Amino acid sequence: RLVMGMAKLGVLVNFVSDAVIVGFSAGAGVLIGVNQLKHLFRVEFPGSPGMPETLYHFFPHLPETHFYSLALGLGTLALVVLLQYFAPKLPGPLIAMVAASVVVWGLGLDKRGVIIIGKLPPALPPLAELPLFDLQLLGQLSTGALAIATIGLVAAASISRSIAAQTGQRLDSNQEFVGQGLASLLSGVFSGYAASGSFGRSAVNYGANAKTALSSIFASLFVFVAITLFSPAAAYIPRAALSGVLLVMAYGMIDRKEMARIWRGARGDAFIMVATLSATLLLPLEFAVLIGILASFARYALETSVPKVQVVLPDDNFNHLIYRPGKPSCPQLGIIDILGDLYFGAVSHVEDAIQENLKKNPEQRFLLLRMRSVNHCDINGIHMLESVMRLYRQRGGDLYLMRVQGPVRALMRTTGFRTVLGIDHFLPDDGAVTYLFEKILDPAVCIYECEIRAFYECQNLPKQTFADLVPLRSQIPPGSIPAISPQRLHQQLNDPAAEAPLVLDVREAREFRRSHIPQARLFSLSKLLSQALDLPKDRQIVCVCRTGRRSSRAVYVLQQHNYEDVAILRGGMIAWEAAGYLEAVEL
């Protein structure tokens, strides 16, 4: 325990759910109360740590009740409750036990069958002869010692969190581990057992309005003084009175309001609380805590293994990407928000959700994954992303990522995924859609095939539907579209000794008026698809658009109509502008 505390492993306690603490506290309160019935009624039967066995033995012995003991216990209980209500600042339990001791001494009830604590041994425990150099014995004890340490830590941490939840104090788990370790070491030196927390003693301490750790020191000093100086007087404390005090404290451990709140809340929390409560009542305490922790881990694993994976679209003002069920998606680009980590337990669910979206939108060839909520990724997450990347690239599209967190980006770099995907595929949150719209997506699909204006960039595009006539880029055989450079086209247009090629600008009129090659003729792709072609077949034709995507389609259509000397301007108007050549603007 000491080593775990010094190694800062107290964070492991964070995996103990508050529902475990509430259920464990309530169960321990009930268990403490049930175990005190034997002393309150002063009936004799074999002791048992479980509630069912205790009640099974208790009820048959109920006719054997010792009424003097019962009266003392109930009187002590009533006095504590009355003092808590009318004089909460007074140490009610101490006053009640002193009063009960006086009654026992004054009336001689110890001679009438009331069990008292008896004279306490005034001597200190002897020092133990520890076999520190018996390596064989240490090896035999190591497994059991580890189990005791683990269970003790969990139980003590659960008790600490239970009290801290009621006091509002901050719990330092590492300090608690160090304290438990030091206490066990010193206890062993003085012939004691391994130390851990006690719900009974902690409940009494809390019920006495203790505020700091000094309360335990003062309690120890008082015990030492009582043992050495007042052991004859302490001998008259009736065990039934102690039971009455513990019953009050046990009742206070049952946080009924918080239990009702958890019950009305999430089903997972309610299940964990009920499971821990039931295990506390039916099993030994250490196993009850372990069952609660296992239930918490199971719930955590279940929730993190099925993170929300949802398709997002811009809101009505195109300011934010939000979940909009029922609204149609872009036929080219899907944007999926992953709200959880990509670790081995979650990747299958995430990949299934991506595959399901692809089934609903089979025409989508590009995917943008929004990873702002992915704070952790392991090698399984990398393998899943590689699988998705291959899937979309096989469809003629690609995968892009946005808002990748620092640790995840570092893992992608060290595993080589960033190189495989391409560093230009990591996009910022602002401008990601604009970049894809201008550089990646096919404007011909936007203009001629799509009637959905999903993004802000789509709003000013002319919409003309020729879905059956516009060839997809994947339908155009690779290498079948000739291309000439801006320099070559500029040279041909300004060579007086040769016939200049016919330059067809296949963009829309709005784009043409903003800037075009001076010798170009507007012949939009929509016109080329819908009208009869009356173009010379004995003259070279060069088709031009913004980037070359629409012009490739235009050339492919011309080739289908037996035009042989056709080509596109490589890079489109963007390349022409970059070369610094003259552009015409129509005002």
| DSSP letters for 318-348 | SSSEEE-TTSPPPSSEEEEEEES-BSTTTHH
At residue 72, the pLDDT reads 92
Which residues fall within 8 angstroms of residue 35, CB to CB, at 6 or more apart? 47, 54
Distance CA 386, CA 499 (A): 51
**pLDDT greater than 70 at residue 230:** no
pLDDT of residue 125: 74
Asked, for residue 467, whether it belongs to a domain, the answer is no
pLDDT at 430 exceeding the cut of 90: no
**Does some domain include residue 584?**
no
Q: What is the pLDDT of residue 417?
A: 96
Q: What's the CATH code of the domain at 315?
A: 3.30.750.24
468-498 per-position pLDDT tens digit: 555 656 667 888 899 999 999 999 999 998 9
Boundary (domain end) residue, out of 298, 318, 342: 298
Tell me: pLDDT of 549 over 90. no
**Does a structural domain hold residue 509?**
yes
Reported as a pLDDT band with limits 50, 70 and 90, residue 336 is very high
Pick from 8-17, 38-47, 313-322, 578-587: least confident: 8-17
What is the C-alpha to C-alpha distance for residues 542 and 180, in angstroms, rounded to an integer? Answer: 84
The predicted pLDDT at position 356 comes to 94
Alpha-carbon gap, residue 331 to 543, rounded angstroms: 26
Residue 49 has pLDDT above 70, yes or no: no
pLDDT of residue 449: 67
Same domain, 99 and 224: yes
Q: Are 317 and 284 found together in one domain? A: no
DSSP state of 249: H
CA–CA distance, 463 with 461 (Å, rounded to integer): 6
Longest distance between any two alpha carbons in the chain, whole Å = 135
Mean of pLDDT values over 324-341: 91
3-state secondary structure of 502: strand
Element spanning 66, H or E: none
Mean pLDDT on 563-572: 93
Tens-place pLDDT, residues 281-294: 888 766 776 787 78
Q: Which CATH number covers residue 510?
A: 3.40.250.10
User: Residue 254's closest CA among 25, 33, 77, 18?
Assistant: 25
Give how many domains the chain has, as a whole number: 3
Residue 366: the pLDDT is 94
Residue 121: per-residue pLDDT: 65
Regarding whether 123 and 150 lie in a shared domain, the answer is: yes
Instruction: Give the mean model confidence (pLDDT) for residues 510-515.
Output: 87
Contact status, residue 25 vs residue 98, Cβ threshold 8 Å: no
β-strand 398-402 against 366-370: which pairing, if any?
Answer: parallel
- Who wins on pLDDT, 541 or 456? 541
Q: Are residues 279 and 318 in the same domain?
A: no
Please report whether residue 466 resides in a domain.
Answer: no
Dist. CA 311–CA 323, nearest whole Å: 6
Is the domain of 154 the same as that of 214? Answer: yes
Burial zone of 190 (CB within 10 Å; 0-12 exposed, 13-18 middle, 19+ buried): exposed
| Cα dihedral 322/328/334/338 (nearest 10) | 40
Paired tokens of 282: 């039916």
Same domain membership, residue 350 and residue 286: no
Q: Do both 253 and 318 map to the same domain?
A: no
- pTM (predicted TM-score): 0.59
208 and 341 within one domain: no
Q: Give the tens place of pLDDT for each residue, 439-471.
A: 888 776 777 667 788 888 888 776 655 545 556
| Paired tokens of 423 | 């560093």
Question: Residues 257, 275: one domain?
Answer: yes
Same domain, 203 and 276: yes
354, 213: one domain: no
Query: Does one domain contain both 563 and 478?
Result: yes
pLDDT confidence tier of residue 401, bands split at 50, 70 and 90: very high
Direct distance between the N- and C-terminal alpha carbons of the chain, in angstroms, rounded to an integer: 82
Choosing from 330, 377, 543, 545, the catalytic residue is 545
| Spacing of C-alpha 109 from chain mean position | 60
The reported pLDDT for the residue numbered 486 is 95
Residue 545 annotated as catalytic: yes
What domain range includes position 92?
2-298
CA–CA distance from 164 to each of 96, 181, 429, 446 (Å)?
26, 20, 41, 60
Residue 456 lies in a domain: no
Closest CA to 343 of 296, 385, 310: 385
| Beta bridge partners of residue 367, listed in sequence order | 334, 399
Q: pLDDT tens-digit profile of 98-125?
A: 899 899 888 888 888 888 877 666 666 7
- 3-state percent breakdown (helix, strand, coil) of the chain, nearest 5: 55, 10, 35
Domain membership flag for residue 541: yes
Q: What CA–CA distances, in Å, run from 394 to 302, 387, 390?
A: 33, 11, 6
